[in-house]
């Protein structure tokens, strides 16, 4: 059974099929519903069609990590860092760099 929020988002999508916020919201909603295939579909659509929508990269990377695909997560974090740098979004860059460091095993504490 689909959630009410999902139904509303799908309705919005019919009127605004290329709106990156709606695509992002759909990906996030499918992810929360554990419908991984649909979440990947919308996140990847965003990367392809709206590469400057930098919030995508963090969540797509986390989804890859959750699926045990660390190499893909690392690659998507790197791409997101590049896109956020191009856009001048320091906050997104910092979050992506932290996720990248963790996924790549570069985040360590001094003992």
pLDDT digits (tens, 9 = 90+) for 30-65: 999 999 999 999 999 999 999 999 999 999 999 999
Instruction: Name the residue with tokens 């999508």.
Output: 13
Phi, psi (degrees; rounded to nearest 5) at 87: -80, -15
Q: Which domains does the chain have, with CATH numbers?
A: 4-103 (1.25.40.10)
pLDDT digits (tens, 9 = 90+) for 21-31: 999 999 999 99
Distance (Å, rounded) from C-alpha 87 to C-alpha 28?
22
State yes or no: pLDDT of 106 exceeds 70: yes
Nearest to 50 by CA among 26, 24, 81: 24
The angle subtended at Cα 84 by Cα 71 and Cα 15, nearest 5°, is 95
């Amino acid at each position: 059974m689909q959630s009410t929020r999902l139904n509303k988002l799908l309705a919005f999508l019919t009127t605004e099929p290329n709106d990156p916020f709606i695509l992002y919201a759909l990906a996030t909603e499918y992810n929360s519903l554990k419908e991984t295939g649909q979440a990947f579909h919308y996140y990847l659509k965003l990367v392809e069609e709206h590469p400057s929508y930098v919030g995508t990269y963090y969540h797509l990377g986390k989804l890859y990590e959750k699926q045990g695909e660390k190499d893909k997560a690392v690659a998507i974090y790197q791409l997101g860092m590049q896109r956020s740098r191009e856009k001048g979004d320091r906050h997104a860059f910092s979050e992506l760099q932290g996720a990248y460091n963790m996924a790549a095993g570069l985040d360590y504490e001094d003992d």
